[in-house]
Amino acid sequence: GVGAQDPTAQLQRIQGMLQQILNGSNVTILSQNEPVAGRNAWKLKLTPKPETAQQMQLTSALETTLWVDQERSIPLKGLVNAADIGKLEGTVKTIELDKGIAPSVFTFTPPAGAKIVDAAELAKQARPQTTTLADASKKASFKVMTPQPLPAGVKLDEVQSASTGGESVIQQYSGTTSFSVVQTKGQGRGFAQNDMPFGAKTENVTVHGQQATLITGTADQKGTLLRWQENGVTIIIAGTLSRDQALALAASLK
């Protein structure tokens, strides 16, 4: 049961769910003042909109109640109850705001033998660097693929390389349509469910014999993202593309 879970993990799970629900729910005030942890709080009922329920793959009714601090607008208590995921509850027992912090908290003494580096220089190195396609292809430890041939009226604008969380080569194209081709080897950031706009459609497709995920946006957030892995490299095509254009571009990569 939920009660046996680690409290911190339980609260983190509640926080993630509540964030999704808050982003796409209708809100009803149940009480103008129901104190929590000695602070005045609004008691709110959150009802997910149909598109939110679809994105979160809710197969049953979801009851969510949230107590929000009236002065600071911070959640003090949350209750989520759904038949398919169980009951989750988190409550702030004590809270201290604007409490002074001793300067010693911000004092750090490096351990013996530690190497001191320039954080600004590291950040500079981590930022994508503009390069050429030929140079990026030469330096990359993987084959840098490009659309062949390019769609009519489209040209390569810029090529960048990056090393944050993996080795990446980023190609930016524009013209009759705009899109990017990103290839990453290593622990680059994946695409999470929370990244999807509400109402976006997800489809499993096949690219170069590999299973791929195709995400098409909504009427308000147009665009397409196609993602798959090939020979240890994660490849993403994203831009103002139709479903068929994205698949055609992926098939043309050589």
Query: The CATH number of the domain where 74 resides is what?
Result: 2.50.20.10
The domain boundary, picked from 42, 63, 91, lies at: 91
Question: Are residues 11 and 82 located together in one domain of the fold?
Answer: yes
Is there a domain that residue 109 lies in?
A: no
Highest average pLDDT, of 51-60, 85-94, 98-107, 228-237, comes from: 228-237
* Last residue in a domain, options 63, 91, 119: 91
Is residue 237's pLDDT more than 70? Answer: yes
Average pLDDT of the segment spanning 190-201 = 52
Residues 87 and 133 occupy one common structural domain: no
Q: Are residues 134 and 78 in the same domain?
A: no
Q: What's the count of helices (H) and strands (E) in the chain, helices before strands?
A: 5, 13
Q: What residues have CB less than 8 Å from 218, skipping those under 6 apart?
A: 197, 198, 199, 200
Query: Quick one: pLDDT at residue 89?
Result: 86
Residue 123 lies in a domain: no
Instruction: Note the pLDDT tens digit of each residue in 135-163.
Output: 999 999 999 999 999 999 999 999 999 88
Domain membership flag for residue 105: no
Please give the pLDDT value at position 194: 44
Under the banding of pLDDT at 50, 70 and 90, the label for residue 193 is very low
Residue 46 has pLDDT above 70, yes or no: yes
Of 143 and 193, the one with more pLDDT: 143
Residue at 108 is within a domain: no
91, 114, 147 - which closes a domain: 91
Domain holding 188, by residue range, is: 128-252
Q: Is residue 110 part of a domain?
A: no
The pLDDT of residue 190: 46
Residues 66, 145, single domain; the answer is: no
Same domain for 78 and 133: no
Q: For the chain, what is the mean pLDDT?
A: 83
Q: Which residues contact 161 (CB under 8 A, 6 or more apart)?
A: 128, 129, 131, 136, 139, 140, 167, 168, 169, 170
**22-26, 124-128, 230-234: segment of lowest average pLDDT:** 124-128
What's the CA gap between 236 and 224, in Å, rounded? 10
pLDDT > 70 fraction of the chain, expressed in percent and rounded: 81
**200 in any annotated domain:** yes
CATH (domain of 224): 3.30.200.100
- Whether residue 191 has pLDDT greater than 90: no
**5 pLDDT higher than 60:** no
Answer whether residue 99 is part of any domain: no
184 and 170 Cβ atoms separated by less than 8 Å: no
Q: Give the residues across from 212 on adjacent strands.
A: 205, 228
Q: Which percentage of the chain shows pLDDT scores above 90?
A: 48
Q: pLDDT tens-digit profile of 80-105?
A: 887 666 788 889 999 888 888 888 88
Does residue 64 share a domain with residue 167?
no
Mean pLDDT to the nearest integer, 59-79: 86
Under the banding of pLDDT at 50, 70 and 90, the label for residue 37 is: very high
Confidence label for 6 from pLDDT (cuts 50, 70 and 90): low
Choice between 172 and 129, residue whose per-residue pLDDT is larger: 172
Q: pLDDT grade, residue 220 (50/70/90)?
A: low
Strands in the chain per DSSP E: 25-31, 41-48, 62-69, 75-82, 86-91, 129-131, 154-162, 167-175, 179-185, 201-207, 210-216, 224-230, 233-239
Residues 132 and 248 placed together within one structural domain of the fold? yes
CA–CA distance, 41 with 34 (Å, rounded to integer): 5
User: Are 22 and 132 found together in one domain?
Assistant: no
224 and 137 within one domain: yes
If asked whether residues 133 and 232 sit together in one domain, one would say yes
Same domain, 141 and 87: no
The structural domain count of the chain equals 2
Q: What is the CA radius of gyration of the chain?
A: 24
Q: Is residue 67 part of a domain?
A: yes
132 and 246 within one domain: yes
pLDDT at 120: 82
